[in-house]
Chains A and B, each alone.
Chain A
Amino acid sequence: MAAFGSFAILLGLVLCAYTFVVGTIALRQIAVHPQASFGPERLAESARRAGIGSFIALSAAAFALIYCAFTNDFSVSYILHHSNRALPWPYKFAALWSGQEGSLLLWAWLLATYGFVLRVRHKVDVKLTAYASTILAAVQVFFTLLIVFPAPPFALTQGAVPADGFGLNPLLQYPEMVIHPPMLYLGYVGFSVPFAFALGALMMRYPGEKWIHITRRWTMVTWLFLTCGIFLGMHWAYAVLGWGGYWGWDPVENASLMPWLTGTAFLHSVMMQEKRGMMKSWNVWLIFTTFMLSILGTLLTRSGLVSSVHAFAASSIGTWFWVFLLIVLSVCLFTYILQRDHLQSEHKLESLVSRESSFLFNNLVLLAACFTILWGTLFPIISEYVEGSKVTVGPPFYNRVAVPIGVFLLLLTGIGPILAWRSTSFKSVQRNFLWPCIAGVVTALVLMAAGMRPWQDVGTLYSLMTFSLAALVMTAVGSEFWRGARVIQRHTGKNMLFSLVQLTRRNTRRYGGHLVHIGVVIVFIGFAGSAFNQSNEQEMGFHDSMTIGPYRLVCQSYTQDSNANYDSEYELLNVYKNGKFLTQMAPERRFYHASQQTETMVANHSTLERDLYVVYEGRNQDTNQPIIKVIINPLVAWIWIGVAVMAFGTLLALVPNMSAEQAARPRKQQAEEEVALTAGAGD
């Protein structure tokens, strides 16, 4: 199977190289001789089909690797190092992305999959798709080269083949780990598609803005994958790593956040181009940057340039990425310089107080956040170069620098939707902002009356601001829904709920987008809870108890267990809240045989108000009694709820619009049509 896998990868390389080279030749010929014969078009068609073929070949390769994992083929070095016989089967899938070679194969395969969908749906715009397909093939060539030369997943084990593998990193043996990396990769890889379309549209001087319409869904789906990937990673860090937090500003985390920030900026500002023909150069560069940042992120974490907790596989493929990044940058620059006259704006900004300018500021803040994170990630390298000694840029730095930017962004989330396109006069600003501002101020006052003291420390100040802004944004978005629904209601004469549904169906992108903003607000509420974390650590033997917040934990027993995959130690704790029995928790620690690694299994009792997070820290060497760490994390559950809302909003935005006339048709007319319909059905 290993030989078949290697062959399939090679075949994939040949095919995407064919797509790239022949596709380029065909496009060139068509461009030079627009009236030429049938030849170049057939060439282009064969290039498209070869692209589809590369998907089949790489699928075969991915299948071969999974087959090797399932059949415990330890003659393949990668399987030997990332799997073992006792590993439960879902994690054998995860073996595909638990190491460098496998994840690069996954990357190449996902890229081929996106390419497959793009090439199959080429009738949307044959010429533009041909350009995008060729550009995508170039990216494919790079990633396939990586798994042919520096990181072959089917390399054979040297010497005698051991009877069992070294196992999967126990940190990765967690259900979410089966979906988190593919989600994240789908996000990273997905930006290649809008990138390819944007570059293609620029190269061919695509008339009009229809290409944005074509790529809109691609961008949103990609953004959704990246968002889910990032939050699944947060949840995994929270539930598995056992330090009680969900975001550690680790380079790997930062690397995923950077393209997310620029991608979010792109999603917003591209609307200005679609609607008003503005900011074309800016958008082109935003999507170029997003694509390059997703490559840079991989470079930073895979090349060992910056050290990271969960760079699960560091190696020397950095040079490959550097070269690729340089090529991409040069191609982008060259194309831009050559074609920049094609990117003239059709309109000018008409007013500082308009949705356009709020998008401008939104972009600015998102990019500032992206720069801050990039800066923080790279500063250790810069400092080493300048000063000769490395420094650490850790959570305290980001908390001080990035958190204010986040709060500012939250404010813009509230302001943006209220402003109208083109210009908003002072009178309407007054009218539209009154209630949201009142909501914000009242919330702040109520919270201070309830005992929040923002002057005591920065954390409380930020969380008070967050809660207050959350109220502002919620009111602003809520009033958008309400006012829109009222218009529909007046027009159709139906009830409010129906009108709300019609309103949303009429412009799914806008109201789906508002829903995403509500999700963001909910996530921020979850973040704001972290200012009130409490923790306690204590040795807890039989019947010992610990009190923290409203909870009292009492040790019932502690014991040991063993199975084929791991040994475990755990403690049973009865939890009482305000004197009443609440639940039983069992924090655990496992020792995995194959990898010889120890791992903690967190016990978490999550409610909307707070999480009770219990970690089995180990045993005291002297007394042999377990040490238990308890953390109270207020409002964390809201983060996961907020993400669900964000995902729902994005999915809603993907639904095609109902036609405007249909959504706002008066009731009388609708009733008449219904009557006609039933009459027709009776015939």
Chain B
Amino acid sequence: MTILACAALSIGIFIYIFYPQSKTEEQTQKTRLEFLQERKETIYENLRDLNFEYRAGKYPEEDYLAQRASMENEAAQILSEIEFLETSMHAA
């Protein structure tokens, strides 16, 4: 009985591991575009946060404007790179 249970367990797992796969998930390296999209999301979130906190009265106006400008520039830079990469991909 015990031997049977042990055998069943091992054979079951063995089949599960080595059962031929039609398709395996590929380990892709993250592309520059994906990386930029992530960055964009983060900066967007920070910007929304900044806007929200300003409206909640946490920032004096001059701090807010300076920080927003710096973050918006950062976002714009990333957006233009994304745009460039996307157009060059379409072209190719």
Query: Which residues of A are in contact with B by a Cβ distance under 8 Å?
Result: 1, 3-4, 7-8, 11, 15, 30, 34, 38, 41-42, 44-46, 49-50, 52-53, 56-57, 60, 122-123, 126-127, 130, 206-210, 274-276, 420-425, 427-428, 431-432, 483-484, 486-487, 490, 507, 660
Contacts and interface: CB of A to CB of B under 8 A. Distances in A.
B35 A486 contact: no
8 contacts: A3-B6, A7-B6, A46-B17, A53-B16, A126-B25, A425-B60, A432-B58, A486-B56
A127 B42 contact: no
B57 A11 contact: no
**Size range of the chain B interface in the assembly:** 35 or more
Contact of A484 (B28, B45, B46, B56): B56
B9 A41 contact: no
B2 interface: yes
Contacts of B29: 34, 127
Contacts of B85: none
A50 B27 contact: no
Contacts of B39: 208
A46 B19 CA distance: 9
Contacts of A126: 25-28
Contact of A122 (B25, B55, B63): B25
A660 B16 CA distance: 43
B42 to A, nearest CB: 7
A210 to B, nearest CB: 5
A487 B13 CA distance: 56
Given A1-B2, A53-B16, 5 more contacts: A42-B21, A45-B21, A56-B9, A127-B27, A428-B58
Nearest to A431: B57
Q: Chain A interface mostly helix, strand, loop or mixed?
A: helix
Contact of B52 (A45, A432, A484): A484
A428 B60 contact: yes
B84 interface: no
Nearest to B55: A487
Nearest to A506: B52
B25 to A, nearest CB: 5
Contact of B27 (A30, A60, A210, A276): A30
Contacts of B86: none
Contacts of B10: 11
Contacts of A209: 38, 42
A42 B24 contact: yes
B27 A483 contact: no
Given A46-B18, A123-B25, A208-B30, A11 B13 contact: yes
Given A42-B21, A207-B35, A274-B42, A60 B9 contact: yes
Q: Chain B interface mostly helix, strand, loop or mixed?
A: helix
Contacts of A53: 13, 16-17
A148 B10 CA distance: 17
Contacts of A207: 30, 35
Contacts of A483: 56-58
Contacts of A210: 38
Nearest to A660: B48
B49 interface: yes
B77 interface: no
B13 A56 contact: yes
A421 B49 CA distance: 9
A122 B5 CA distance: 30
Contact of B9 (A57, A275, A428, A486): A57
A126 B24 CA distance: 10
A60 B35 CA distance: 42
Given A432-B58, A483-B57, A486-B56, A44 B63 contact: no
B20 to A, nearest CB: 9
A30 B25 CA distance: 13
A423 B21 contact: no
Contacts of B6: 3-4, 7-8, 11
B81 interface: no
Nearest to B10: A11
A148 B6 CA distance: 17
A517 to B, nearest CB: 17
A487 B59 CA distance: 14
B4 to A, nearest CB: 10
B72 interface: no
A49 B18 CA distance: 8
A8 B56 contact: no
A15 B12 CA distance: 13
A123 B38 CA distance: 17
B81 to A, nearest CB: 14
Nearest to B3: A3
Given A53-B17, A423-B63, A487 B5 contact: no
B53 interface: yes
Nearest to A15: B13
B50 interface: yes
Contacts of A50: 13, 17
Contact of A208 (B35, B58, B59): B35
Q: Which 5 pairs show the lowest CB-CB distances between chains A and B? A: A53-B13, A127-B27, A483-B56, A49-B17, A45-B24
B14 to A, nearest CB: 8
B67 interface: yes
